[in-house]
Structure 1
Amino acid sequence: MADTGQARAEMVDRQIAARGIRDERLLAAMREVPRDLFVGEERSAHAHDDSALPIAAGQTISQPYIVAAMIEAARVGRDDRVLEIGAGSGYAAAVMGRLAREVHAVERLAELAELAAGRMAGLGYANVHIHQGDGTGGWPDAAPFDAILVSAAGPDVPQPLIEQLAPGGRLVMPVGGGHVQSLVRVTRDAAGAVAREKLDDVCFVPLIGAHGWPER
């Protein structure tokens, strides 16, 4: 059996730290979370590749560096309550669960939500809660959130997500259609004023839902 711990360490060193990710807590979390358990047994040999990979239900798990870059951009802290939209296999939520007090992750597809919830239970990640539903409306029952990550590209930042940001909160998501989108960060100050900045060009699956793209 391959040494997955060594593979994770090499993934973090070569793909993530070498590209400028400096948050030591984040790097440690990505060395800890067993990425191979989140890609499916048939692709576990490629779990630490420098690329996105297919997962169940025709979806993808993001490239390790992109996961790290989004989490670092959201500045996830120890006491934060975090919301992720588009949980997929649950990998990013699991990483953030090692960093934050509590994580709520919403997945539209029931098959993926069930698999992700099972992985959290199996790993003992009790502070990560997987919900099935339309994440474009956020998760009002647990709002407000200190950080929100959206792992799919919408036509714009959904207003319900902005409204669920706590004062001082940060939201990171890809925005736009087509093959290339803009990764943006939205911040909300103590007075409620919202600012927005572009971070990078990225490529994500579309965000489907009432405040995203219509299902085709």
Structure 2
Amino acid sequence: MNVEQARFNMIEQQIRPWDVLDSDVLTLLAVMKREDFVPASQRALTFVDMMVPLRQGGAAGQCMLEPKLEARLLQDLRLQRHEKVLEVGTGSGYMAALLAHRAQQVFSLELEPELVEMAKANLKRAGIMNVTVRQGNGALGLAGESPFDAIILSGSVAAVPQELLEQLKVGGRLVAIVGNEPMMRATLYTRTGEREFGEVVLFDTVAPRLLKFPEPTRFSF
């Protein structure tokens, strides 16, 4: 496989048509080696328009999202170089690596110990020094390091916990994929005041659930 041609095709045929037009994001995707964050057994799927399992039976929260979805979320977060970011759902560390090139400091939470070690190793090998990966329940966020300029959820949730929203600075943004199959919505939340939050739907999509986030109560009769 011609890796650089495959990377070019991924950007031009998958990512750009999904309204990812920010030149800085596109340049970053061209130089960041996505293949270095994909498990060796799945390397053939690196540039394919699909989710990549990160371990045996990789299901909820244990996969890399499609390249176009990663790129769109990154673009819509509108990061600036001086900002501090929280990611929930580290996975292989690829999104954290992208965030690291766009922000000053990145904290990334991952529930699964195996993936914590994978991400740390991948980020170290890539020479990325401004990401801190921690094991923990992403639904609780990281209050000890808050407030954050931006928060990104690398997976879907039924609803964004208030506890996470309150870890944003005033003016801070949170991007998440919210709802239930068959249709979820990528949504941008902005903290507009001490107790005020704006909400804008960005686009429709579907993504695996992040673990440990609350689900709505189901009633039976």
* TM-score w.r.t. length of structure 1: 0.91
**In structure 1, which of residues 72, 97, 101 is the aligned counterpart of residue 100 of structure 2?**
97
Q: Which amino acid aligns with 1:18?
A: P
Q: How far apart are 1:3 and its partner, in Å? A: 4.1
Q: Post-superposition shift, 1:13?
A: 2.2
* Paired position in structure 1 for 2:3: 4
Q: Does 1:106 align with 2:109?
A: yes
Tell which deviates more after alignment, 106-115 or 187-196: 187-196
> Are residues 6 and 102 of structure 1, via their aligned partners in 2, closer, same or farther at CA, if it must alter by over 3 Å?
farther
What is the one-letter code of the residue matched to 2:33?
A: P
Q: Give 1:46 deviation, angstroms.
A: 1.9
Distance 2:87 2:109 in 1: 6
Which stretch of structure 1 is more off in the superposition, 145-154 or 189-198?
189-198
Secondary structure at the counterpart of residue 204 of structure 2: strand
Structure 1 residue runs of 4+, over 4 Å off? none
Q: 1:122 aligns with which of 103, 109, 125?
A: 125
My pick for the range that moved more, 85-94 or 53-62, is 53-62
Q: Work out the CA distance in 1 between the residues paired with 2:181 and 2:120.
A: 31
Give the Cα–Cα distance (whole angstroms) in 2 for the partners of residues 192 and 93 of structure 1. 28
Which shifted more, 63-72 or 169-178?
169-178
Q: CA deviation at 1:5?
A: 3.5
Task: State the identity %.
Answer: 33
The root-mean-square deviation of aligned C-alpha atoms, in Å, is 1.7
Partner of 1:22: 21
1:60-71 aligned at under 5 Å gives the runs 60-71=63-74
* Secondary structure of the corresponding residue to residue 148 of structure 1: strand
TM-score of the superposition, structure 2-length normalised? 0.89
Give aligned pairs, total: 212
Output the CA distance in 1 between the equivalents of 2:141 and 2:20: 28
Superposed counterparts of 1:174-185, under 5 Å: 174-185=177-188
Show structure 2 runs of 5+ residues with no match. 217-221
Contact 2:19 2:72 in 1 (8 A): no
